[in-house]
Amino acid sequence: MEVYLDNSATTKVTEKVRDKMIQVLYEDYGNPSSKHIMGMKAEQYMKEAADIIASTLKVDSKELIFTSGGTEANNLALIGTALANKRRGRHIITTRIEHPSVHQPLIYLEQLGYEISFIPVDKSGKIIKEKLYELVKEETLLVSIMYVNNEIGAVQDIPEIIRELRQRKKDILIHIDGVQAFGKYRIHPKREGIDLFTFSGHKIHGPKGSGVLYVSDKVKLNPMVFGGGHQRGRRSGTENVPAIAGIGQAVSELYEDFDHKINKMYELKQTFLREVSRLEDVTVNGLVAECTDDFDMEQLKKTAPHIMSVSFQGVKSEVFLHALEDRGIYVSSGSACSSHHPQPSVTLTAIGLPKDLMDATLRFSMSDKTTMEEIQYTLANIKELLPILRRYTRK
């Protein structure tokens, strides 16, 4: 049996996404900037994708920029906004648990003379709001917060946070990394007060190499790629039409039967956490305190539906990962985007997880395609392998 529980790293494209991309690659392969019928067909695919995404987010399609993924979208959002709005302020606030595609651009801006402040988080990965509000000052230009943490599934109270921030500074700009949230929550940037919002195609059953940045029409943004003035001059370069068509198709399927999909994932998460937490010396990460009471569903829904972070004391995560792989179960030892770098996880560090547990943590991440049979198969193998691996480690 093959069980793929690494959906926070990437997802399998749907059949309709695959078919749409093949159509564009092999038949409607024109350059969207060309004036002939083939170019017009390619341009139409882009327009259709933009209209689908804009309708889902309830924004104007002209406020969307297609990118090569979430990393580029986050870089463009942060650096492009900072450079275009220097006179408004050079102070940026973010959290201690951001993805490297947010953290690294901010370090770059710090080298250019911007001041970067970091908000601490509690043991569940929720930001300490009072600390955030205390950081806001006249020079604060931008606040960047991820909606859902990619390692432990902590969810931030974004609408509440934005309301409070705007009471302190009306013109503060808000960037939300929505890569792990889009498709798991109904997100409407204008209604929530989000100025810049990013998401990635390959996390929602779309293709790798596709992403979207929403930029409110009120926000000034400098481009980072210069050339032919594509996408209204905000991102030059011939557009990747197959990927754009693919991400549009993925979004069109994303919210079909939405409540059923999300409730199903929460039920699978509840089953998994109840069973795995009964094992000796096992710690579940990223839960609010109330969730530990037999994983009550109401409390569990304060976390993301698809991500589960579990530490198995006494077993190195990489050892356990490969033992599960031998049984056809695919999981992650952390964020796949940074797993090739040996430094400790910034998220697990920020929540205060002891070093020995950091080295023993696995991330299990589902999609709406995950089944109860797959969860039960995974649990059975964890129960069988854990005591064996612990005995081996002790030797």
Q: Residue written as tokens 């969860």?
A: 375
CA-wise closest residue to 84 among 12, 21, 156, 142: 142
Q: Which of 73, 176, 337, 353 is catalytic?
A: 337
Beta bridge partners of 93: 117, 143
How large is the greatest C-alpha to C-alpha distance in the chain, in angstroms?
A: 71
Distances (CA, A) of 306 to 79, 215, 386: 30, 27, 23
Cα gap 314→304, rounded to integer Å: 27
Beta bridge partners of 127: 121
CB 16 within 8 A of CB 253: yes
CA-wise closest residue to 39 among 24, 29, 49: 29
Residue 337 falls in the annotated catalytic set: yes
Q: Which long-range contacts (CB under 8 A, 24 or more apart) does 40-47 make?
A: 42/241, 45/241, 45/244, 45/245, 45/248, 46/239, 46/241, 46/244, 46/245
Cα gap 173→162, rounded to integer Å: 10
Cα gap 348→355, rounded to integer Å: 9
CA-wise closest residue to 317 among 346, 279, 347, 355: 355
For residue 171, give the 3-state DSSP assignment.
coil
Q: Token pair of 108, please?
A: 């770059």
Cα gap 7→11, rounded to integer Å: 5
| Residues in Cβ contact with 23 at an 8 Å cutoff, skipping those fewer than 6 apart | 245
Residues noted as catalytic: 337
